Copies of this chain bind each other. A is one copy, B any other.
Amino acid sequence: MKNLVSLSEAINSLSRTLGETINLDVESVKLTQATGRIIAQDIYALEDRPSRDSTAVDGYAVRSIDTLGATQYNPVELRVIGVLRPGQTPSDICLEPGTSIRVHTGALLPCGADAVLMDEDVKSIGDKIYVYRQAPKGLNIVLRGEDFKKGDLLASKGEVVKPAVVTALAASGLMDIFVYRRIRVSIVAIGDELIEPGSRVVNGRVYNSSAYTIYSSLVKDGIFDVYYTGIIPDNVEALRKVFDREVERGVDIIITTGGTGVSESDVISRIIEQADRVVFRGVKMRPGRPTTSFVYRGKIVLSLSGYPVAAWTGYELILRNALIKWLGLKGFERKYIYAVLDKRTPNNVGYTSLIRVIVRDENGVFHAEPYMLRGSGVISSLLKTNGYIVIPEELEGYEKNDVVRVYLYD
């Protein structure tokens, strides 16, 4: 591999190619089906919320002028002339001087009222209340449109739908929303040496794990329809058959694990000769250096390493970021913290490094212990670590006690 690209070049060119090769149709879903889907167009509130001035608490709607001078020792007596709950239309009762109306939180403000007293500010005896404090105009009232106004942006294109968005859309009366269809991904495991978990191990063979790493990561991220094709031997004809079948099935992206390596005789190198074009071939990052992408019969192929951690790094740093860039995804980025690095962590200048770390909380300060190991196939590191740092290509690394950004595994 000679023309390795930088990580940012890989992300940019993959993002561009996603846009060129995938026609991501929009579909309408019910609110109950929307969680985790990607909003396809900006959504604005259709009306004010609340639709009219409303009560913010359980209590008594009053005319503020009636409560002038009221104190604990000099209460004002008001007559309670009715009850209003949310959903009731108050137009049939109106406050006259010296009266009040019992209200439940969310009820529309009755006509004549301009303040609401909380239960603890009054004493109720029979149909009378004794008011122990003055109620300034507007007390405990939610003004029309205070929550949101007609035309306010509730959710924007590219946003991944979360409970807060569902709440806002429901509250504004929307049930059907437009989202992108899920992105269809097929995962192909490549390698003569592989056997599937669940089979009996044959001497020297290794269990396929990388394809399952990617499968699980895609399922977890929730915006994909994921297919798994099984293991294909290191044979370019067999691989081509699978690619052709997946292309005809209408998949958007084919992800392969394995079959990449130093040798020009690797099966990925050979199938690239039949590709429409190469997106990038090898990335200046570690792990995941052999990560390669090309277009085959109009579809993107992302070829990841055969080693699970390296394969995952290719998904995590390249495909996820390319998707974020392409669709303007919001709420899809990894959460991160800042942590004190436990030891010096060197980097090969020119390469972006992903270093897994074990984060621990020491009395309110996060510390990150880098977990560096030879070989990118080390599974136990994935179980033990709970975050990763990314060292940019221009840095020689981080020193002990540097404060670094740690992305948290989901």
Residues of A within 8 A of B (CB): 31-32, 34-36, 47, 49-51, 56-58, 85-90, 104-106, 108, 119, 140, 142, 146-148, 152, 154, 161-176, 191-194, 196-199, 201, 203-210, 212-213, 215-217, 219-220, 228, 261-263, 306-308, 312, 335, 337-338, 364-366, 374-375, 377-380, 382-383, 403, 405, 408-410
Contact = CB atoms under 8 A, between A and B. Distances in A.
A195 to B, nearest CB: 8
B106 A170 contact: no
Given A58-B261, A87-B206, 12 more contacts: A32-B215, A34-B216, A35-B219, A35-B220, A86-B193, A108-B204, A140-B374, A147-B378, A163-B312, A167-B216, A172-B207, A338-B365
A173 B215 CA distance: 16
Say how many copies of this protein the assembly contains: 2
A375 B108 contact: no
Nearest to A140: B374
B170 A208 contact: yes
A81 to B, nearest CB: 18
Given A32-B228, A57-B374, A171 B262 contact: no
B335 A212 contact: no
Contacts of A209: 167-168, 170-171
B35 A383 contact: no
A31 B152 CA distance: 44
Contacts of A90: 204
Contacts of A366: 338
Contact of A89 (B35, B201, B203): B203
Nearest to A102: B263
Contact of A364 (B57, B142, B338): B338
A220 B142 contact: no
A46 B60 CA distance: 69
Contacts of A32: 212, 215, 219, 228
Contact of A175 (B51, B170, B197, B261): B197
Contacts of A175: 196-198
A307 B171 contact: no
A167 B197 contact: no
Contact of A106 (B34, B377, B409): B377
Given A162-B409, A204-B87, A204-B88, A198 B173 contact: yes
Contacts of A49: 379
8 smallest CB-CB distances across A and B, nearest first, come from A87-B193, A175-B198, A170-B209, A164-B382, A166-B216, A171-B209, A56-B375, A163-B216
Nearest to A212: B170
A68 B49 CA distance: 81
A152 B383 CA distance: 12
Contacts of A217: 163
Nearest to A305: B105
A312 B162 CA distance: 13
